[in-house]
Amino acid sequence: MKNMYNKRRSGFIAFVTLFLLGIFGLMGIAYWFNSRMNTDMLWVESQRLRARNFAQAGIEKVKIHMCNVCQRGEKTDMRRQEYNPEEFNKEFEDGGYRVKSIEVFKMDGAEYKNVKHVVKGRVIGEFDVWEVTVEGYTKKTGNVVEIKTILRVIRDNVVY
């Protein structure tokens, strides 16, 4: 019977096994690191989207306020109106929004305030165009998102 054991190859299998374990270990560490980086980036992006949603909620709050003012029949100038900042600014557990400015929209030196609303050559009311700037923020990451939007408020003289 022939002896299959060869002293020159006695450590070869152990060396190949350790080499493959090292390669697979490095690949596992690289995969873990890549997954961790992607998870962190996704979390920061979700916080940025949350700040944007907070800013959009602030714009909706201003819209509701303008709608209520128009329904009461008031012709107030939102720039000069004495309003309570807490009425527009809102703080949540993980962020909030701040209304930075409500200004009359200006283009080519003209202000769009109390502009006649004309339909088929007949004046049926007035409209204003407002430029609203709202800042949304998150507390955990400190993300701040600013949104500017233009709102058109139409006050038609409708007779029922």
The pLDDT tens digits of the residues spanning 43-83 come to 989 999 999 999 999 999 888 888 877 777 666 556 545 55
The pLDDT tens digits of the residues spanning 121-134 come to 888 888 888 888 99
SS3 11: coil
Chain length of the chain: 160
Best-predicted range by mean pLDDT (21-30, 92-101, 146-155): 21-30
pTM score of the predicted model: 0.71
Averaged pLDDT of the chain: 83
Task: Provide the token pair at 2.
Answer: 């022939």
Is the Cα dihedral 46, 138, 135, 54 positive or negative?
positive
What pLDDT is attached to residue 62? 87
CB 149 within 8 A of CB 59: yes
Residue 4 has pLDDT above 70, yes or no: no
The pLDDT tens digits of the residues spanning 103-121 come to 888 888 888 887 887 888 8
